[in-house]
Chain A
């Protein structure tokens, strides 16, 4: 189930909201936790079937046990290296098997046959949704306990809720245990939580449904072109549309997750902070998918030595982090290349000193604008390989971008191009680039002008988003009267 589906919006969400609020009023957090846990399991099951609940519960169970083990070791004054290692092996093992096994088999097939082995007898593994997020959350749980930053959760149901809580289960943000441990035990739900949570959810829904989906329609039609038919104009429009799509889609989803969490009394961490106004790639990675960046920084980069071992070691550590970041996004060479590309840019920024102006505070307005434009361009270039089905296609796409190959759009793209989608992409781009860094999602609705914006959001954009979701389900039978 996804947040922008009709089943979620009109059935699941209102039922769970009302049930949680009633349970919370009747029995405080413990009661609402039970409602939320049951709801989260249904939410997960709805997407891929009950079989995968087993995997989720298995991951929850062994991390719960590991947490208790680490906690016991800490109380006894022992180190927990073995438990932590075991946690990494188990979680990364589960993630590796489900996410990368098909890729590994497919990529090594040719080699095996060339070496005279029989081809693999392999049935494709189905990827349980959200596995990248919940395994990372579980690892952070064990790591934080081992580091003494948090205490183990004794109540298995509460721990299960931490891992499976549906607002952040399938697409983040990655909520580290220490941040919500207290909220899981006891939290309040105020009128402010409900109002701001609802507003934030609608804000995200509008970003996802109105902007990201419109941009996605354009990007999809262009990235579906055979590589020989991509014109220069199409390539740039496709890259731009995808740049808008991925930001509004992912940050919209994060907004919805944060808003939902808020309505249930949780305060989730922010995941995006105007990333397309970054003044360097270093700055970009402080603003894009912040919970993942922070996770890798705290649990991989710093333990590897961070920047403490001199420039060479730092570059190796950075490269490691970004290879992992790339691979985390999916099992395809394109993600690996995208990760390496970002890692290289960060290393170059360190070498050249560009990183020293990462916050842009000391730059002149012209320099600032130029930097933002260059960073956006570099990010956009990265998104091409991220979106392309394979490296070869990405290379053809880049070629079309830089070698003039026709300035009109291919006819099949023009056929599907909707004026409304084009306008929305343009508006999205202006919002992503133009709105000041200080004005983040929730702050837009504060103050006198904010009240107008809030009315516009709730009375116009929200109903329109719901209408668009419903309209998107229309699929008439063609041969009704021919």
Chain B
């Protein structure tokens, strides 16, 4: 027999648990955006909307996302599953071997017909020829998906599912090598680096290469475009604490220390912070570098078409090049590229493997880019000048 007190205690506990989010809200705690997008807001109310089922869906979504207890719950559930069972939560990630997390997108996908891929590589090569014809240097490289370098971290099912991805990768690599383009085979370089050094070139909870991994790319472009400069010894600097992206996508949001490295030139200085965009919306990031110890910098203007893999590398790149300008694929158009290319000396085209085919399809389906670049004009060049930072000597 239970006493009234005991009964009321259980009912009180039940009610209290239901009221936890309301209590947190009353205590001033507020939910914050944790899904890389703005939080849903309650939809505007009017009587007519009461008849619209979508209204309730939107209201539900807003109530869910404004729940201050939700973030803790997501983290707790995701971490419990991961650390107890090696499971990951979420539809965009998959658990591999040894605690590695993979982006599902890098495992699934259709095989791309060779003819189709070849035609896009040919268009890319046409762009390369156009650049060379206008006296510029260029380089194309593909930043590998981590599964290409750490395929031993895939489960047998994941390896089976990613057969097409593997075939596409090998085909693209072969075609790029056959095309005669200036191409950096980052797959081979990173596999070699992984075998040579103790430090990881990719980590279990992050899609991007580590700073150690990015050094193969830095080393290659410096040797290619500024061979007169001495790279200097590779040294470790203060590690950086980050929230790895795959951990975030799996809802875990744990933090890890990431090793950071530099080719030690001593005394270089970025005039512009590497994460600050150009003041004009939609314009590229700029790096305007000077050195305090007089170490020489390449005077060539370097334009880099890039994605997020460059974030691990651009501090390093700007150690060697006085003027670097970063253009993300997301805001790339033939006109914009033509404008920037007209005044650049070096053009580096970098894309991550998982997006490579999509980007080649979008931007190099035709020879529009090459045509646009060849159509460059004095007006275009004058406009282009506004993109580049002022020379270091003019900077305050």
Q: Are A195 and B7 in contact (CB under 8 A)?
A: yes
Q: Return the CB mask of A99-135 against B: 1 if under 8 Å, else 0.
A: 0000000000000000000000000000000000000
Given A5-B60, A194-B8, A415-B155, 19 new contacts (CB under 8 A) = A6-B64, A7-B64, A10-B67, A49-B50, A50-B51, A195-B6, A412-B157, A415-B107, A419-B87, A420-B85, A458-B10, A462-B14, A470-B70, A470-B77, A474-B89, A476-B37, A477-B35, A482-B354, A482-B355
Please give the number of chain B residues whose Cβ is less than 8 angstroms from any Cβ of chain A in the complex: 69
Q: Are B60 and A7 in contact (CB under 8 A)?
A: yes
Q: A420-B87, A467-B76, A476-B36 known; A191 and B11 CB under 8 Å? A: yes
Interface-facing stretch out of B18-26, B228-236, B317-325: B18-26
Please give the number of chain A residues whose Cβ is less than 8 angstroms from any Cβ of chain B in the complex: 59
Q: A473-B70, A474-B74 known; A51 and B51 CB under 8 Å? A: yes
A410 (CB) vs chain B CBs: closest residue: B157
Identify which of A411, A470, A475 contacts B161 (C-beta below 8 A): A411
* A147-202 CB contacts (< 8 Å) to partner B: 191-192, 194-199, 201-202
Q: A14-B22, A476-B249 known; A419 and B67 CB under 8 Å? A: no
Identify which of B7, B19, B53 contacts A194 (C-beta below 8 A): B7
Q: Are B10 and A415 in contact (CB under 8 A)?
A: no
B86 (CB) vs chain A CBs: closest residue: A419
A219 to B: closest C-beta gap in Å: 17
Q: Are A14 and B89 in contact (CB under 8 A)?
A: no
Q: Are B21 and A194 in contact (CB under 8 A)?
A: no
Interface assignment of A81: CB less than 8 Å from any CB of chain B: no
Interface assignment of B90: CB less than 8 Å from any CB of chain A: yes
A476 CA to B352 CA, complexed, in Å: 20
Interface assignment of A449: CB less than 8 Å from any CB of chain B: no
Interface-facing stretch out of A40-48, A266-274, A303-311: A40-48
Q: Are B251 and A471 in contact (CB under 8 A)?
A: yes
List, sorted by A's number, 12 A–B pairs whose CB atoms are closer than 8 Å.
Answer: A45-B50, A49-B53, A195-B8, A411-B157, A415-B158, A459-B13, A470-B67, A473-B70, A474-B251, A475-B90, A480-B36, A482-B352
Identify which of B15, B19, B52, B74 contacts A470 (C-beta below 8 A): B74
- Counting chain B CB atoms within 10 Å of each CB, which of A5, A197, A467, A474 scores highest? A474
Q: Are A458 and B14 in contact (CB under 8 A)?
A: yes
A60 to B: closest C-beta gap in Å: 19
Q: Are B92 and A11 in contact (CB under 8 A)?
A: no
Q: Are B87 and A14 in contact (CB under 8 A)?
A: no
Listed in ascending order, the chain B residues whose CB lies under 8 Å from chain A are 2, 4, 6-8, 10-11, 13-15, 17-22, 34-37, 50-53, 55-56, 59-60, 63-65, 67, 69-70, 73-74, 76-78, 81, 84-87, 89-92, 94, 104-105, 107, 155-158, 160-161, 207, 245, 248-249, 251, 307-308, 311, 352, 354-355
Q: Are A48 and B53 in contact (CB under 8 A)?
A: yes
A334 to B: closest C-beta gap in Å: 26
Q: Are A9 and B50 in contact (CB under 8 A)?
A: no
A480 (CB) vs chain B CBs: closest residue: B36
A230 to B: closest C-beta gap in Å: 16
A424 to B: closest C-beta gap in Å: 11
Listed in ascending order, the chain A residues whose CB lies under 8 Å from chain B are 1, 5-7, 9-11, 13-14, 17-18, 45-51, 191-192, 194-199, 201-202, 263, 409, 411-412, 414-416, 418-421, 423, 454, 458-459, 462-463, 466-468, 470-471, 473-478, 480-482
Q: A415-B107, A474-B89, A476-B35 known; A198 and B14 CB under 8 Å? A: yes
Identify which of A9, A49, A409 contacts B52 (C-beta below 8 A): A49
Q: A415-B161, A476-B92 known; A420 and B81 CB under 8 Å? A: yes
Q: A419-B86, A478-B92 known; A198 and B10 CB under 8 Å? A: yes
B163 (CB) vs chain A CBs: closest residue: A411
A478 CA to B107 CA, complexed, in Å: 15
A316 to B: closest C-beta gap in Å: 42
Identify which of B4, B53, B77, B155 contacts A468 (C-beta below 8 A): B77
Q: Are A475 and B14 in contact (CB under 8 A)?
A: no
A202 CA to B60 CA, complexed, in Å: 22
CB neighbours (8 Å) of A474 from chain B are 34-35, 74, 78, 89-90, 251
A24 to B: closest C-beta gap in Å: 14
Q: Are A477 and B37 in contact (CB under 8 A)?
A: yes
A466 CA to B67 CA, complexed, in Å: 12
Q: A51-B51, A418-B85, A477-B35 known; A411 and B158 CB under 8 Å? A: yes
Identify which of B10, B60, B65, B81 contacts A199 (C-beta below 8 A): B10
- Counting chain A CB atoms within 10 Å of each CB, which of B51, B94, B158, B207 scores highest? B51
A199 CA to B248 CA, complexed, in Å: 35
B7 (CB) vs chain A CBs: closest residue: A195
A302 to B: closest C-beta gap in Å: 40
B369 to A: closest C-beta gap in Å: 21
A455 (CB) vs chain B CBs: closest residue: B10
A58 to B: closest C-beta gap in Å: 16
